[in-house]
Amino acid sequence: MNVNRNVSLKSFHTFGIDVPCDFLVEASTINELTEAYQKTEWLLLPKLVLGKGSNVLFTEPFHGVVVINGLLGKSVVESVDHVHLHVSSGEDWPGLVEWTLGENIHGLENLALIPGCVGSAPIQNIGAYGVELKDICEYVEYLNLETFTITRLMAEQCLFGYRDSIFKHQLLGKVVIVAVGLKLPKKWQPNLSYGPLKEEKELLTSPKSVFEYICDIRRSKLPDPLVTGNAGSFFKNPVLSLECFNRLKAIYPELSGFSMQDGGVKIAAGWLIDRCGLKGYQIGGALVHPQQALVLVNSGGATPNDVLDLAWFIKQSVKDKYGVELEHEVRFFDSECETNLDAIFSENNCE
C-alpha cells in the first residue's frame, strides 16, 4: 500500500483542478483496501475511494484519505446462452469494452468510451445509446466497511434507476464496490433504439461497427479530458411527468422527449442549456463547452468555485426560463463528504 501526504488531486480527477487531500493511498488488493480503512493513524478521518475520477468535482481541499482503487482482474465463464464476466472494480471501463470485442464477447458496445472504472458503473447506473448497466449487470460485490466482509448483491437488489442505485442512498459511505458481474447474451442482437443508431441500421450490422460508430459520435461531441479538463455530462437529463412535458411542448414545439417505462418523459438537459444561450458562457476558468452545452470544462486554472458558480448560474437560468430543475450528474465532495449544489448554495445564502 503506497501512502503519500498532502497530495494535489489535480492528476487524479478529469476536471484537473488543483485541490489537495491530506492523505493519498493506492490500494491494489482487497487486503490493502481494508488496511486503508483500519489504519490507526487516520482511523477517524473521512475516506473516499476514487477510481478514474471522471465524474467527480472536489469543491474544497479534502481533509481525509483518498484511496485510489487499483483492484484489477477479470474472468470469463460461459453458460448455455450467456457469457458471464467477473470484473474487478479498478478496471478501466472503456478498456473493458474494447477488450470484450477483441475476445468476441458482445453486448457492451453501446457503452463504449464512457470514462471511469468498472466500480463506478453501478453507482451511476451508467448508460448511453439505449443501454444502461442494469440491462447487463448480474451482480455487484462490495466490501462492507463495518464488518470488512465481502457481500454480493444481485442486480435486482441494487435498485437501479436513471443514473441512480442503492449505492447512492442506503449504502452510501457504508461499502466499497470491489467487483461487478456482467451477463452478456451469446446471440448478438443490436440495440439501435437510440435515434442516430436507428438511422444507420443498414450499416450497423456487427458489434464492431456499432462500437466504432458510437466512438466516432462521442469523440465528435465530447472534449477529451486529457486535453481539456471536464467530467463529461455535468447534468442529468430531466425526467418530467407527461403533463409537464405536454405543457412545455405546447410552448416550445421544437422540444423533444423520450418516453420512460414509468410514464415519465426524459428531455435533453443540453437542449435546455443551449436554448438559454449559454454555450461558451464562462465564469473564471470554468466554461460551458462551445459545441456541447451539457459539458462544463476547465479552460485553464479553474477553481472549484468557478465551476460551482457556473453550474448554479446554469441551473437557475434553466429554472427561470423553463421551470425545470436540473440535477447534476457529477458527484461533489467537500472537505469531508459528498455534497450537492443546492446544499452548497443554501449554506452560502445563510452566511
What nine digits make up the cell of 274? 443551449
Catalytic residue among 327, 329, 336, 338: 329
Q: Note if 163 is an active site residue.
A: yes
Q: Within 10 A of 255 (CB to CB), how many other CB atoms are there?
A: 18
The answer for residues whose C-beta is within 8 angstroms of residue 40's C-beta and 6 or more apart is none
In eight-state DSSP terms, residue 1 is -
Cα separation of 118 and 49, whole Å?
A: 13
Catalytic residue among 132, 233, 275, 317: 233
Distances from the Cα of 215 to the Cα of 109, 231, 291, 305, angstroms: 9, 17, 17, 32
Specify burial of residue 349 (Cβ count, 10 A radius: 0-12, 13-18, 19+): exposed
Cα separation of 152 and 181, whole Å?
A: 10
Q: Note if 331 is an active site residue.
A: no
Distances from the Cα of 251 to the Cα of 73, 121, 255, angstroms: 52, 37, 9
Computed from CA positions of residues 37, 43, 48, 51, in that sequence, does the dihedral angle turn out positive or negative?
A: negative
Cα separation of 319 and 268, whole Å?
A: 14
Catalytic residue among 88, 163, 275, 317: 163
The angle, 0 to 180 degrees and rounded to 10, between the axes of the packed helices 93-102 and 207-221 is 150
Which positions are annotated as active-site residues?
163, 233, 329
